């Protein structure tokens, strides 16, 4: 009898302890974040059944293992640094003295995070919960991030820096606006500071925005691709500031695609907000290095004398190697929710100029390629509008998708048979083979419909936009002419060699050559 009592008591204790741990876990997920400014955008979606969440957790873990194991063709392998890096914003001793007694404006978004390792926590606010693209991973990462980090704005205010305004780029101060969606100026609910949009009525700071400003601090996470627009925002900030004798401090962050220098160098006649400088698609530089290059090469649209009116200061990342893997602590924009999407972005973004879906409006933005009629894979994925993609390509349509690494068709359960999980080797850098293969699939499809009297499908639906992404019309013409990947790559090499030589003067970190 005593043994039975002891066993029951032990089982009861374990049950109570398990319930307590579950309760703590749930409370932890619902606890308030450290700052109103820590925000990760998710796309909308229906609530998921616990078994599906468990399944997605397994897939996410599987994706991470696959990503870490895949070799990188044609590039040095990433190395793990024994030292923990310190982003520029965390190196307060390097720049706080430059802000003392000054009226400061911040150019920031949700990515301007600093570690709370050596600082007291700021006031808290409830963390927004959403279901969405890779939602479980995104939500758990958001919770962990909010516990470890605070926004630069909060950190500077805690240190008595006189921040008087905020300027926000594409996707907004909180990074929750879709691609190309105009952002309105606003007031920050927590601090009462004005937020001036640099992706609305103007993309360049106006005289009114800069009235009374002594110094501008720029701190935004980039992904290392020329057509990612934060670089263009940096250009216009430098241009406006230097013309008005306002110093600029760039707090540098790692480039997650920093190992690659690849793609055509932009030609001036194809210059636009998605490409303003004569640099390749993958430039292998951080925004701090590019800021030095923009000023050093005289690329700003100001008089030569204006370069002497203000000072550019770049605070480098501490203990950073360009070949080291860097996983972003927060999504840099709504449709780049994880490391895989950032890795695929340099290649898949080119499909924005075509009729191919890259997953906007699905659970896998920038992680798949698909089309309603041209077959890229056996997985059927439904495209729906969401907060990250208000008007996605092929909206309310099933696409035949090739999903990179994994696919959990939670939103496709109504279809039978249920799509199988498929795995593919991830691509790295700029993968021209993927573009050429897609173009050839459209050609083959059109041959078939011509014999059956069907309608052809156009691949280059936005050729001008494709050319702006490429920085030249040569890439599109080469694809249409049937050039091989090797022939296309060879056509870039002379310009890439010149660029590599030019950029040496502006590098802050060990080069990959």
Position 125 pLDDT exceeds 70? no
pTM of the model: 0.77
Instruction: Convert the pLDDT of each residue in 88-103 to its tens digit.
Output: 999 999 999 999 999 9
Q: Is the dihedral of CA 436, 343, 178, 240 positive or negative?
A: negative
Confidence bin at 123 (pLDDT 50/70/90): very low
Residue 322 vs residue 32, higher pLDDT = 322
Least confident of 169-178, 280-289, 372-381: 169-178
For 293-311, give the DSSP string.
HHHHTT-SSS-GGGGGSS-
Rounded Cα gap, residues 467 and 439, in angstroms = 15
Q: In terms of C-beta density within 10 A (0-12 exposed, 13-18 middle, 19 or more buried), how is residue 37 classed?
A: buried
Position 172 pLDDT exceeds 50? yes
pLDDT of 499 reads: 98
The pLDDT > 70 percentage for the chain reads 71
Report domain extents, the chain.
Answer: 88-116+148-315, 339-408+420-481
Paired tokens of 475: 């890439």
CA 331 to the chain's CA centroid? 6
- Asked whether 464 and 454 are in contact (CB, 8 A), the reply is no
Position 359 pLDDT exceeds 60? yes
- Asked whether 171 and 374 are in contact (CB, 8 A), the reply is no
Position 25 pLDDT exceeds 80? no
pLDDT of 417 reads: 39
Confidence bin at 140 (pLDDT 50/70/90): low
pLDDT of 247 reads: 97
Least confident of 125-129, 232-236, 243-247, 423-427: 125-129
Instruction: Convert the pLDDT of each residue in 383-417 to its tens digit.
Output: 999 988 999 999 999 999 999 875 444 433 333 33
Average predicted confidence (pLDDT) for the chain: 79
Instruction: Convert the pLDDT of each residue in 253-299 to its tens digit.
Output: 999 999 999 999 999 999 999 999 999 999 999 999 999 999 999 99
The CATH number of domain 88-116+148-315 is 3.40.1350.10: no
Rounded Cα gap, residues 411 and 419, in angstroms = 11
Q: Is the dihedral of CA 187, 191, 192, 198 positive or negative?
A: negative
Least confident of 30-34, 158-162, 321-325, 370-374: 30-34
For 162-195, give the DSSP string.
-EEEEEE-TTTTTT-SPTT-----EE-TTT--EE
Average pLDDT over residues 437-451: 93
Position 313 pLDDT exceeds 80? yes
Query: For residues 68, 74, 75 and 79, what is the CA-based torsion angle, rounded to 10 degrees?
Result: 40
pLDDT of 141 reads: 55
Instruction: Convert the pLDDT of each residue in 190-242 to its tens digit.
Output: 888 999 999 888 999 999 999 999 999 999 999 999 999 999 999 999 999 99
Position 356 pLDDT exceeds 70? yes
pLDDT of 84 reads: 86
Position 326 pLDDT exceeds 60? yes
For 202-241, b where at least 16 C-beta lie within 10 A, e where not — what string? ebebeeebbeebbbbbbbbbbbbbbbbbbbbbbbbbbbbb
């Amino acid at each position: 009898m005593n043994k039975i009592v002891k066993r029951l008591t032990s089982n009861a204790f374990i049950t109570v302890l398990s319930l307590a741990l579950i309760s703590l876990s749930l409370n932890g997920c619902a606890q308030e974040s450290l700052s109103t400014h820590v925000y990760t955008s998710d796309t909308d979606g229906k609530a998921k059944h616990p078994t599906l969440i468990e399944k997605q957790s397994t897939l996410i873990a599987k994706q991470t293992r696959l990503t870490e194991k895949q070799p990188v063709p044609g590039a040095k392998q990433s190395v793990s640094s024994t030292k923990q890096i310190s982003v520029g914003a965390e190196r307060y001793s390097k720049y706080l003295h430059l802000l003392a007694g000054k009226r400061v404006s911040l150019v920031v978004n949700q990515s301007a995070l600093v570690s709370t390792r050596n600082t007291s926590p700021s006031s808290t606010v409830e963390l927004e919960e959403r279901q969405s693209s890779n939602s479980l991973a995104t939500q758990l990462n958001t919770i962990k991030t909010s516990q470890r980090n605070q926004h630069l704005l909060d950190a500077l205010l805690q240190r008595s820096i006189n921040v008087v305004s905020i300027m926000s780029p594409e996707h907004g101060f909180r990074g929750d606006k879709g691609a190309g969606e105009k952002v309105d100026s606003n007031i920050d609910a927590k601090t009462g500071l004005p937020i001036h949009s640099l992706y609305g009525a103007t993309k360049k700071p106006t005289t009114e925005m800069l009235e009374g400003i002594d110094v501008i601090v720029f701190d935004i996470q980039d992904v290392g691709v020329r057509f990612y627009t934060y670089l263009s925002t940096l250009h216009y900030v430098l241009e406006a500031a230097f013309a008005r004798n306002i110093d600029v401090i760039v707090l540098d962050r790692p480039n997650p695609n920093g190992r690659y220098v690849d793609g055509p160098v932009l030609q001036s006649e194809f210059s636009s907000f998605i490409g303003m400088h004569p640099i390749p698609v993958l430039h292998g530089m951080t925004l701090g290095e590019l800021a030095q290059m923009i000023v050093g090469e005289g690329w700003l649209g100001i008089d030569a004398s204006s370069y002497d009116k203000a000072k550019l200061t770049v605070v480098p990342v501490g203990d950073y190697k360009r070949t080291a893997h860097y996983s972003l602590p927060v999504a840099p924009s709504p449709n780049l929710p994880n490391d895989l999407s950032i890795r695929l972005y340099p290649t898949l973004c080119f499909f924005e100029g075509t009729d191919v879906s890259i997953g906007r409006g699905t659970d896998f933005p920038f992680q798949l390629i698909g089309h309603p009629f041209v077959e890229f894979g056996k997985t059927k994925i439904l495209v729906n509008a969401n907060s990250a993609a208000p008007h996605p390509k092929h909206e309310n349509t099933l696409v035949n998708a090739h999903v990179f690494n994994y696919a959990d068709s939670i939103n496709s359960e109504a279809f039978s048979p249920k799509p199988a999980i498929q795995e593919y080797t991830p691509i790295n850098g700029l993968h021209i083979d993927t573009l050429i293969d897609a173009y050839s699939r459209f050609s083959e499809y059109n041959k078939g419909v011509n014999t059956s009297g069907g309608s052809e499908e156009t691949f280059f639906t936005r050729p001008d936009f494709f050319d702006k992404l490429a920085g030249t019309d040569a890439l599109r013409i080469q694809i249409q002419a049937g050039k091989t990947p090797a022939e296309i790559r060879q056509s870039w090499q002379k310009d890439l060699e010149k660029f590599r030589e030019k950029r040496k003067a502006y590098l802050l970190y060990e080069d990959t050559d």
